[in-house]
Amino acid sequence: MREKVLKKEALQDFLRRLIATAKTVAPVRQPGKHYMLKPVSRAEEVAVECPLTYYSPKEFVLPPGETLLCFGRRDGKPFVKPMIEAEDMILFGLHPCDINAMWTYDAAFESDNKDENYLARRNRMTVVGMDCLKPCDEYAFCYDMKTNVVQGRYDLFLTDIGDSYFVRVATDRGARLLGGAPSPSSQQKAELAKVEKAKESSFTKRIEFETDELPQLLEKSYDSLVWNAVARRCYSCGSCVLVCPTCYCFNVEDRLQLNLAAGERKRYWDGCMLAGFAEVAGGENFRRERWQRLRHRLFRKGKLIKELFNRPGCVGCGRCERACTSKISIVATYNQLKGGA
């Protein structure tokens, strides 16, 4: 890990260099108070002081819909052709929670059955993170999930230390983009330590126990009445899984031409909170009730992904509660389970 500093007055030139290098996606202010990650063509479009984007970077590493392969017969012989689309892309301004979430994706899609479509995009992606110096709002609980500090694969990570950004350079690709930035002085290193200490002290604990206990708590709470009580407010609309940065479930469909001579296999986002997610042939549904779907989702967030990949299944960004039409809180639910354990 190398350390550099970037003067704040040089940031616009740095952004212009990114935009000139590859397709650049960055936070952009929307009408009202929302921010969205969007492709930008000018440095002035970038909202550098962005609290948190409404959606996560998920759509850029795992598109909502994509063609995986096409198949058919050619000259009387069957063929299958993989369809892998990827381009050079720079993601700018990601906060620690979203970089941690991409780390979880990396673990899932690089495991035993490697997902070539995901890997092709990820390997051509450059991540330039931007630290947040305080909780984004009252919904954030990244401190509880230990994701308020950056972990995972990134290229550059910027922290505001006053008149400059302290830059952690994690890869050679990041170093080339940054250019000839100077190394930090001892005073700037001291300022970084001061800023990071102030950031940590600005978080208030929302989950009322150590989150390392979550897998065991959930195991004990499988038959808790809390699931039914909370799920009575749920509309099964799927807003929570749509905005979640660590949800990666998908459905796969084969689409045939009318003459049955060719077709394509497509992948689409899917979500465990939707009523038909666990439905199989014959109409059987393994999670027909809302409380069963809610339990399944929170088990994945707090237990299964952690046990599978040793990565956080929830990064505490708070997007699910912000987007929920009923304001169902994952934090409040975990606290209720702990109170009844």
Mean pLDDT, to the nearest integer, of 12-40? Answer: 95
Q: What is the pLDDT of residue 332?
A: 96
Alpha-carbon span 147 to 17, nearest angstrom: 29
Query: Does residue 89 register a pLDDT over 80?
Result: yes
Q: Is the pTM higher than 0.85?
A: yes
More confident residue, 25 or 281: 25
pLDDT digits (tens, 9 = 90+) for 298-330: 999 999 999 999 988 999 999 999 999 999 999
Number of domain units in the chain: 1
Query: Does residue 273 register a pLDDT over 80?
Result: yes
More confident residue, 203 or 334: 334
Query: Does residue 105 register a pLDDT over 90?
Result: yes
Q: What is the pLDDT of residue 340?
A: 73
245 close to 315: Cβ distance less than 8 angstroms:
yes
Alpha-carbon span 123 to 132, nearest angstrom: 26
Domain encompassing residue 214 = 2-340
Q: What is the pLDDT of residue 97?
A: 96
Q: What distances in angstroms separate CA 147 from CA 50, 273, 294, 326, one per listed residue?
A: 18, 24, 23, 26
